């Protein structure tokens, strides 16, 4: 594009993802120019320790991220992570009319409202495909491709570390602790795995997905979150015994009517439920075959029906692929003086608290094998108004394994049922209690 003004890019952060962004920008420069309609020029890279970055051109490095954001650039690409200083830097960029591309789910899940407002104040773009499920196109399908449909459910595996651990437990029968150790040794889990194993990373992603799917501002605080540290080898074995497997799921769904809410929504006819928790799913479910560090997200929409998005949700190069896709989009918008999608939060649906969101449960018990045991157990369910969907009993020498799957019940009802059952003299052990998803209720 001779004579076309270059699109100048500031890169903030040059770690796992940033290094790959630089590589792709350099290796594909000619193609990117052709695709955008103008050269895409790296104007500077903000890092903390310049002497640690021998792989990138030294003259581009700076430790002053703020000055780089304030300089004459068109686009700011943020791959530092965390809330500050990135929040301040990106607000500054957007308020001065610079487009932003970010991979930062934690920031978006807490501050997307403020970032979108800053973008609106100048007409700048805010793109974030890399923030959820890495390379997998998911943000663009939800924001653009499905913008004419009505999405009813988004359910997926959006954290590779926990999926690696749960898949490992499923294939070896090993404990959570042993498998986490292995994941750390192989570099799949970080030295501090808290954000992944306690579900914070998945909860941020769930908030972003729910916001887009339901045209509602959802933050991480709205997401019910449970991690995988409590998942035992017994849970995995119980799941396997019934043709199921355990996955950490991010679930965003529309639910109709009833229940409390975050504002005065007594008359609301529709709510959303946004949650992250381990659940048993049938081994025949499309998400059951997603193993190791892969991600997959299942989307259901009224007109489109069921769709699944599958691929690499993390890693330097896959994540950089999503960043580059966004960079091309915002650069193209600038070339034609156009703009990408703005925030769409008009529906403002209330989020239903987990306490009022019934889910189905699987309960495995070790019981004495003698007449009347089943009826005693069933009576406790009836007493707490928890309806039983299926029961399976397998006799052993002098005891039996009893597996019960419930119809949808609230956490509170299920907890009191299980507490009371655990105290029955005929119940020797409550082996496993876990939610069930992906089956007709």
Ligand X SMILES: N[C@@H](CCO)C(=O)O
Ligand Y SMILES: NC(=O)c1ccc[n+]([C@@H]2O[C@H](COP(=O)([O-])OP(=O)(O)OC[C@H]3O[C@@H](n4cnc5c(N)ncnc54)[C@H](O)[C@@H]3O)[C@@H](O)[C@H]2O)c1
Given the rule CB under 6 A, which residues bind ligand Y?
A: 12-18, 46-48, 65, 79-81, 85, 103-105, 130, 134, 314-315, 319
160 binds ligand X (CB under 6 A): yes
Give the integer Cα–Cα distance in Å for 201 and 81.
Answer: 12
133 binds Na ion (CB under 5 A): yes
24 contact choice in Na ion, ligand Y, ligand X, none (CB below 5 to 8 Å, kind-dependent)? none
Q: Which of residues 161-200 bind ligand X (CB under 6 A)?
A: 161, 196
Number of C-beta neighbours around residue 80 at 10 A: 24
Give the integer Cα–Cα distance in Å for 232 and 89.
Answer: 43
Contact (CB, 8 A) for 77 and 12? yes
Give the interface size with ligand X as a residue count (CB under 6 A).
8
**Beta strands across the sheet bearing 126-127:** 61-62, 40-46, 7-12, 75-78, 99-102, 126-127
Helices 160-172 + 176-185 axis angle, to 10: 120
Active site residue 240: no
Q: Which of residues 293-352 bind ligand X (CB under 6 A)?
A: 313-314
315 contact choice in Na ion, ligand Y, ligand X, none (CB below 5 to 8 Å, kind-dependent)? ligand Y
Q: From the DSSP assignment, how many helices (H) and strands (E) are in the chain?
A: 14, 16
Nearer to ligand X, 273 or 295 (CB): 295
405 contact choice in Na ion, ligand Y, ligand X, none (CB below 5 to 8 Å, kind-dependent)? none
Please name the residues in contact with 183: beta carbons below 8 A apart, sequence gap of 6 or more: 161, 164, 165, 168, 189, 193
Phi, psi (rounded to 5 degrees) for 426 = -80, -10
Give the integer Cα–Cα distance in Å for 196 and 199.
Answer: 5
Q: Which of residues 302-361 bind Na ion (CB under 5 A)?
A: 322
426 binds Na ion (CB under 5 A): no
Give the integer Cα–Cα distance in Å for 332 and 339.
Answer: 9
Q: From 159-167, 243-251, 281-289, 328-336, give the range in contact with ligand X by CB under 6 A.
A: 159-167
- Find where tokens 């029906």 sit: 305
129 contact choice in Na ion, ligand Y, ligand X, none (CB below 5 to 8 Å, kind-dependent)? Na ion
- Find where tokens 């487009």 sit: 99
Q: Which of residues 121-150 bind ligand X (CB under 6 A)?
A: 134
Please name the residues in contact with 429: beta carbons below 8 A apart, sequence gap of 6 or more: 365, 366
- Closest C-alpha to 424, from 361, 364, 367: 367
201 binds ligand X (CB under 6 A): yes
The correct pick among 20, 129, 170, 226 for binding Na ion (CB under 5 A) is 129
Give the integer Cα–Cα distance in Å for 279 and 214.
Answer: 23
Q: From 41-49, 122-130, 300-308, 342-350, give the range in contact with Na ion by CB under 5 A.
A: 122-130
Nearer to ligand X, 125 or 196 (CB): 196
Q: From 132-140, 166-174, 230-238, 371-379, give the range in contact with Na ion by CB under 5 A.
A: 132-140
Q: From 78-86, 154-162, 235-243, 337-345, give the range in contact with ligand X by CB under 6 A.
A: 154-162
Task: List, in sequence order, every residue forming a beta bridge with 61; answer none if it has no partner.
Answer: 45
The correct pick among 90, 119, 138, 402 for binding Na ion (CB under 5 A) is 138
Residues that bind Na ion (CB under 5 A): 129, 133, 136, 138, 322
Known catalytic residues?
A: 205
Residues that bind ligand X (CB under 6 A): 134, 159-161, 196, 201, 313-314
């Amino acid at each position: 594009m001779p004579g076309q003004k270059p699109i100048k890019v500031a890169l903030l952060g040059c770690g796992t993802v940033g290094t790959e962004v630089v590589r792709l920008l350099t290796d594909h420069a000619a193609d990117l120019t052709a695709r955008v309609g103008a050269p895409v020029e790296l104007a500077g890279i903000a890092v903390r320790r310049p002497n640690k970055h021998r792989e990138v051109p030294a003259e581009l490095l700076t430790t002053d991220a703020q000055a780089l954001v304030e300089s004459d650039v068109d686009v700011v690409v943020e791959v530092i992570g965390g809330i500050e200083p990135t929040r301040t830097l990106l607000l500054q960029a957007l308020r001065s009319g610079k487009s932003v591309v970010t991979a930062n789910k934690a920031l978006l899940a807490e501050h997307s409202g403020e970032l979108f407002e800053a973008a609106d104040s100048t007409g700048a773009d805010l793109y974030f495909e890399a923030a959820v499920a890495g390379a997998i196109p998911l943000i663009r399908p939800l924001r653009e491709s499905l913008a004419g449909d009505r999405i009813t459910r988004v359910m997926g595996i959006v954290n590779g570390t926990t999926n690696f651990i749960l898949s490992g437990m499923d294939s070896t029968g090993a404990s959570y602790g042993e498998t986490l150790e292995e994941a750390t040794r192989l570099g799949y889990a970080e030295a501090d795995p808290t954000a992944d194993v306690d579900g914070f990373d998945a909860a941020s992603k769930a908030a972003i997905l729910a916001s887009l799917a339901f045209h509602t501002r959802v933050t991480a605080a709205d997401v019910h979150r449970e991690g995988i540290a409590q998942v035992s080898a017994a849970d995995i074995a119980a799941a396997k015994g019934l043709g199921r497997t355990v996955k950490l799921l991010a679930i965003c769904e529309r639910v109709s009517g009833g229940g409390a809410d975050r504002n005065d929504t007594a008359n609301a006819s529709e709510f959303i439920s946004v949650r992250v928790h381990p659940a048993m799913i049938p081994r025949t479910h499309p998400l059951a075959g997603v193993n190791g560090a892969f991600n997959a997200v299942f989307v259901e929409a009224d007109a489109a029906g069921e769709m699944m998005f599958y691929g690499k949700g993390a890693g330097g190069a896959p994540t950089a692929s999503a960043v580059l896709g966004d960079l091309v989009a915002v650069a193209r918008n600038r070339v034609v003086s156009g703009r990408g999608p703005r925030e769409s939060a008009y529906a403002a649906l209330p989020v239903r608290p987990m306490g009022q969101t019934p889910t189905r449960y699987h309960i495995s018990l070790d019981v004495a094998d003698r007449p009347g045991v089943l009826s005693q157990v069933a009576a406790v369910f009836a007493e707490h108004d928890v309806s039983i969907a299926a029961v399976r009993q397998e006799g052993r020498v002098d005891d039996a394994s009893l597996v019960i799957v419930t119809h949808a019940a609230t956490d509170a009802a299920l907890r009191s049922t299980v507490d009371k059952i655990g105290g029955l003299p005929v119940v020797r052990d409550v082996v496993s209690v876990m939610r069930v998803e992906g089956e007709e209720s």
